Structure 1
């Protein structure tokens, strides 16, 4: 698909906001009566003109979809989104074919897959959910077959139970990367904001060796995606989710961001609006 013209007439400074991993159904106890309204109020207060959400809004694709549409309605700004692994889960509904859920998301106006958004004359936003390729796991301790089991002692990675692509994780990861390259090529002459759900930079996974993350890192990111930064130097911002921590790294070429709201179990202040304010990262483009 061709790139989609998006706010093409922008001639001024534009403020972008980004969040991920809201997990609204896990954190609903602390969200108050209307989380969408709270988020719209924050958007207004911070004068955000476009919101990017890097996945894991909920465990149900319809809940995720409805949340995005309501935030757009209340805030009156565009929301762009790439799904996270939780958005694909088939735990609370009967759609067990993950490719069917993926097709649902990809056809929505907020999707970036196959349709990068052009902003003004100089910028574009491209993205993919991405999928983990086991590359950040400790391959000296575990082989591919061990990672494929998604089982660590008595604990399991829940995608094992609730996600079914009908193909291997590495193939899903590779397919998404191929699509991303196709999309990036269409906007390579612009400054690019890249958004993925999984981590695509070694500073956004847990340093190894680590007793637990020797294994768990395999599911946090896609090491093969690091090559996009070399192949597309026009990427000026890279937005990621999934890892449940908040971090911003700047180098000479670009800024890397995770703005994860995360799980209430790790919040010192048990209030969703407070955590959105603490997590939200904004930046200006022109």
Structure 2
């Protein structure tokens, strides 16, 4: 996994003296002899030369949108150094660092404390679903000394490998993705349950509609209407010749078209009015 190649950085070829591998809490990286580790954290590694005229930076972030512009990412990270007159070239494709799939390289110049500086930055990208992790590795020095660093220092800056799952905040993004996945799963389950209930209700209403249509068809075909029995007996189909019906406890039925007529008047029978049944 670690892409350090000692043969690529011999002291004679690099002019850096010896190189050593530093194993930090989050990253493994290469340190030229005599250089100081200024920062070794979860998101960045920064090295300075003994005379403070050159440096390397590795900084990265996870959870960025998949379409985030690498040039913008490099610009923002370099701008954090508070340089003056920062100028960055157009990108060119490059070899990504370990764990990334694509990379873009940029030349840049700037002024710092009134001193012209020059460097090279690379943005390596690892994509995951609709997000990505971007890592900038860069090397820079006073412009007057860049000729001594240009051939090897950018390569040293790129010799970095994440060894901790929390590097660049990846674990936090993974936890967030898991939370999002669980929430999406819950929403999907709720949608399925809602869909099942809705479909069941649609089928129920459709069945009731068909039952009503069949019921009305049967009544029309037989020229009858259906009436409820207030004494707890089954519904009764009666001819359409009357609009109102009454029934007594013996099951006798009396029909009339007069809504005010009441067979209980002058009768010893207990008559109850029947109601029209509708499914």
Higher Rg of the two aligned structures: 2
Same fold (TM over 0.5): no
TM-score category by the smaller chain? under 0.3
Question: In proportion to residue count, which structure has more strand?
Answer: 2
